[in-house]
């Protein structure tokens, strides 16, 4: 049997061996873990992901980016029709082009001789707004009398083209209609205006272009019935040497009677050609114009640049010599009906 003292020594040696083995095992595990981490692949971004650039530090950003956004700009002012200056009523009439006599005679288109035949004049109103149809009206054989709205654009160019085509010019003056639902356009003459404002607006309209023989009313069923307002207008037209054609948009119009009272050159519409925009009706109105001309020696018709009207006139005008009629500008019919003392 071994001696009793040998057992404690063997036990101590066994514990030492176990401790060294545990330490070695721990070191090996740690080394393996570190090597695994070093060799592991980097994490990949999912397909389609986009890398975002890093934001610069706050101190590096421009100062403006830290300010509040500027206030939005105010909306542009509403576009309104031009208003005539208040001083317009104090200005003298504009200086017209060269020549002698009053504008209604100076700018008149020379008429073809009547030779005892009845004469007809055709005024085309509302010229200038619809450029294409206005150009078609200019292309018709003449002489026609083309009345341009004063608020149309490029009036100098359009009226020059009309005159170059052999037509006479008038100004189609906007006036208040009987119905408030119908607008005659910007700077129209209305019965609610005082005398100074009527003159101011009238001057604005009359100064829009030159070379015209006179004026006829655009709408105006209410305004032309107001004798006081019409006297202001006709007094200014007479002062400027312009003729007046009453479109007779109202049976109550005081225009022609007042013009006769003033002794100024004047006339009135006999037939509206295109109140109904059907070719047959326009042709019937042209026949009525012929009838009145034969009965009274002359007649004035008013139409507009509508397709039916233009087509009917294109067929009717060349046929007038065979019908025993003469087409003349409206100034010739006014001259024939105006007393000598008014032909200044």
Q: How far lies 226's CA from each of 108, 137, 252, 289, 303, in Å?
A: 30, 33, 9, 28, 25
- The pTM of the full predicted model, rounded to 2 decimals, is 0.72
Judged by phi (left if over 0) then psi (alpha if -120 to 50, else beta), residue 176 lies in: beta
Per-residue pLDDT, averaged over 147-153, amounts to 98
| pLDDT digit string, tens, across residues 289-307 | 999 999 999 999 999 999 9
Q: How far apart are CA 283 and CA 277, in angstroms?
A: 10
| pLDDT digit string, tens, across residues 52-90 | 344 333 333 333 333 444 454 444 444 344 444 443 333
| Domain boundaries along the sequence of the chain | 100-342
The angle subtended at Cα 10 by Cα 9 and Cα 14, nearest 5°, is 120
Least reliable range by pLDDT among 45-54, 92-101, 186-195, 243-252: 45-54
Over the chain, what HEC string results? CCCCCHHHHHHHHHHHHHHHHHHHHHHHHHHHHHHHHHHCCCCCCCCCCCCCCCCCCHHHCCHHHHCCCCCCCCCCCCCCCCCCCHHHHHCCCCCCCCCCCCHHHHCCCCCCCCCCCCEEEEEEEEECCCHHHHHHHHCCCCCCEEEECCCCCCHHHHHHHHHHCCCEEEEEEEECCCCCCCCCCCCCECCCCCHHHHHHHHHHHHCCCCCCCEEEEEECCCHHHCHHHHHHHHHHHHHHCCEEEECCCCCCCCHHHHHHHHCCCEEECCEECCCCCCHHHHHHHHHHHHHHHHHHCEEEEEECCCHHHHHHHHHHHHHHHHHCCEECCHHHHHHHHCCHHHCC
Percent with pLDDT over 90 in the chain: 68
Residue 338, pLDDT score = 81
| Most confident region among 7-21, 23-37, 290-304 by mean pLDDT | 290-304
Percent with pLDDT over 70 in the chain: 69
CATH code at 100-342: 3.20.20.370
Least reliable range by pLDDT among 5-19, 125-139, 330-344: 5-19
| pLDDT digit string, tens, across residues 203-245 | 999 999 999 999 999 999 999 999 999 999 999 999 999 999 9
């Amino acid at each position: 049997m071994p001696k009793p003292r040998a057992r404690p020594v063997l036990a101590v040696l066994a514990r030492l061996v176990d401790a060294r083995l545990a330490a070695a095992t721990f070191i090996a595990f740690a080394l393996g873990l570190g090597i695994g981490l070093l060799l592991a692949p980097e994490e990949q971004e999912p397909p389609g992901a986009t890398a975002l650039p890093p934001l610069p530090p706050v101190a590096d950003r421009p100062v403006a980016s830290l300010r509040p956004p500027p206030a939005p700009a105010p909306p542009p002012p509403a576009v309104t029709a031009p208003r005539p200056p208040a001083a317009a009523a104090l200005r003298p009439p504009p200086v017209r082009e060269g020549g002698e006599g009053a504008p209604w005679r100076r700018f008149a288109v020379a008429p073809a001789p009547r030779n005892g035949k009845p004469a007809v004049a055709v005024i085309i109103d509302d010229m200038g707004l619809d450029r294409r149809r206005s150009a078609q009206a200019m292309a018709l054989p003449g002489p026609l009398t083309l009345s341009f709205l004063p608020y149309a654009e490029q009036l100098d160019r359009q009226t020059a083209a009309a005159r170059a085509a052999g037509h006479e010019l008038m100004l189609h003056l906007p006036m208040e209609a009987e119905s408030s639902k119908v607008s005659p356009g910007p700077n129209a003459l209305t019965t609610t205006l005082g005398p100074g404002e009527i003159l101011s607006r009238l001057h604005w309209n009359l100064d829009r272009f030159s070379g015209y023989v006179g004026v006829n009313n655009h709408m105006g069923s209410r305004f032309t019935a107001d004798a006081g307002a019409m006297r202001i207008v006709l007094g200014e037209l007479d002062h400027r040497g312009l003729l007046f054609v009453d479109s007779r948009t109202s049976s109550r119009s005081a225009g022609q009677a007042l013009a006769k009272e003033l002794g100024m050159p004047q006339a009135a519409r006999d037939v509206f050609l295109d109140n109904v925009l059907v070719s047959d009706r326009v042709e019937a109105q042209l026949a009525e114009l012929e009838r009145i001309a034969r009965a009274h020696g002359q007649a004035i018709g008013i139409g507009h640049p509508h397709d039916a009207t233009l087509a009917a006139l294109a067929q009717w005008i060349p046929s007038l010599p065979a019908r025993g009629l003469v087409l003349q500008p409206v100034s010739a019919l006014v001259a024939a009906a105006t007393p000598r003392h008014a032909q200044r």
